[in-house]
Amino acid sequence: MSSHHEIPSYLTPSEIGPWGVYLEQIDRVTPYLGSLARWVETLKRPKRILIVDVPIERDDGTIAHFEGYRVQHNTSRGPGKGGVRFHQDVTLSEVMALSAWMTVKNAAVNVPYGGAKGGIRVDPKTLSQGELQRMTRRYTSEINIIIGPNKDIPAPDVNTNEQIMAWMMDTYSMNQGSTASGVVTGKPISLGGSLGRHEATGRGVFVVGCEAAAKLGLAIVGARVAVQGFGNVGGVAARLFAEAGAKVVAVQDHAASIVCETGLDVPALQAHVKQHGSVAGFKGAEVIADGARFWEVECDILVPAALEQQITEANANKIRAKLILEGANGPTTPAADDILHDRGVLVVPDVIANAGGVTVSYFEWVQDFSSFFWTEEEINLRLTRIMREAFAAVWQLAQDKKVSLRTAAFIVACTRVLQAREMRGLYP
Ligand code: GLU
């Protein structure tokens, strides 16, 4: 990544990783920020970083230690907000970038939050349920000092789910002495979760995908869709596209890549993944032995819905899709962005495409505060409206300024964040 960026002393140049991608994106938007550019350095430094040791007693009596993080990138527009990720490759650079993308995302769809993110470097598949619970509770206790319904509100992300949110809510509440349902979102419905939250990110990808396809004159009925990642984002998006008449022709996950020319049976694939933990071994498809070839699959719509830095200089030229919907955070590097732009491939950036999750998290948080719960229809309607409006505004700005949708989304978002920053003023 570009070496001209100032690297914080707590990251070595080799660790710059996703944070370097984010810094490059900020450099690209800066010329469009007018006088607010005076404040842009704010966006290049996370407000607060907490690194915690998370020790647990393993089932066999040994003690294991994991490294945990919570980064609050910005709180100019409201409390920190963003998920918690459990993954063996979690690094500080990654959590920093993910927290910053939350700041941009929350501002892009105009929910009243700053940006934050957390994570633990662990492969949760290596833990028993008991170990997973102890690790989650110890991590929550360690970050207890900086989270809270009005301070910073965690949520699910890669390898975390409503059970983990329930444990986090309980741990925070026990430490506090009273039940605080608004401290995390993505909770089970029975504990103050919101209807529609589980599906919200995938649904948002689908809604924005339909809007973008319409701009391209691409019909959803019969469209060929390829999806990387078949979890809570990719799986739901695939199902909604299939229900709308599209053909899901290829899926790649952490274990395998599969294709089916006539279109995969998505509900059957979801059932398979639920049982076996991955798409590997699914009967109704052929295997793509070389995973790198997934990117060359003939398709109209490509949905990267797994991890960062998947679409790079190495594969951007081979992608056949006309439309890319970033279900994941940070799946495309800036160099790949340029290649796709030159080739006329439309990229709907993460900060718009996957903002449905945090949007319904916002609804959940509002419902928890008022202890009054909405119907699923109402949630989905409000979600759809916010996603469509955010897409339309960003599309229009991209046309006016002749910039990519990513730069347009960053202009909208960074302007909102820095206006708030400027109006609040520097303390003291
Ligand atoms: N982890 C999700 C994201 O990356 C959701 C965050 C939230 O709901 O706070 O947007």
4-19, pLDDT tens digit by residue? 778 899 998 888 999 9
pLDDT tens digit sequence for 244-271: 999 999 999 999 999 999 999 999 999 9
Please tell me the distance between residue 83's alpha carbon and the centre of ligand 1 in angstroms: 5
- Do 330 and 220 lie in one domain? The reply is yes
Please tell me the distance between residue 283's alpha carbon and the centre of ligand 1 in angstroms: 33
- Do 204 and 175 lie in one domain? The reply is no
Domain endpoint, select from 344, 371, 399: 344
- Do 219 and 248 lie in one domain? The reply is yes
pLDDT tens digit sequence for 306-328: 999 999 999 999 999 999 999 99
Say if 225 falls within a structural domain: yes
- Do 93 and 151 lie in one domain? The reply is yes
Residue 283 a catalytic site member: no
| H or E stretch covering 367 | helix 356-370
The closest-lying atom of ligand 1 relative to the alpha carbon of residue 329 is 4
Say if 414 falls within a structural domain: no
Note whether 43 and 420 are within 8 A (CB).
Answer: no
Within 6 A (CB) of ligand 1 lie 81-83, 155, 157, 185, 329, 354, 357-358, 361
35 Cα distance to chain centroid: 30
Q: Give 408's contacts (C-beta < 8 A, 6+ positions apart).
A: 394, 395, 397, 398, 401
Domain endpoint, select from 117, 146, 180: 180
φ/ψ of 228, rounded to 5, equals -105, 120
- Do 64 and 176 lie in one domain? The reply is yes
Please tell me the distance between residue 61's alpha carbon and the centre of ligand 1 in angstroms: 35
Q: What is the CATH classification number for the domain harbouring 335?
A: 3.40.50.720
- Do 70 and 148 lie in one domain? The reply is yes
- Do 219 and 340 lie in one domain? The reply is yes
Say if 8 falls within a structural domain: no
- What is the separation, in whole angstroms, between the first and last Cα of the chain? 35
- Do 225 and 155 lie in one domain? The reply is no
The closest-lying atom of ligand 1 relative to the alpha carbon of residue 157 is 1
pLDDT tens digit sequence for 205-245: 999 999 999 999 999 999 999 999 999 999 999 999 999 99
Catalytic residue selected from 105, 117, 187, 322: 117
Range of the domain at 151: 46-180
Domain count for the chain: 2
Say if 388 falls within a structural domain: no
Alpha carbon distance 171, 126 (integer Å): 23
pTM, to two decimals: 0.98
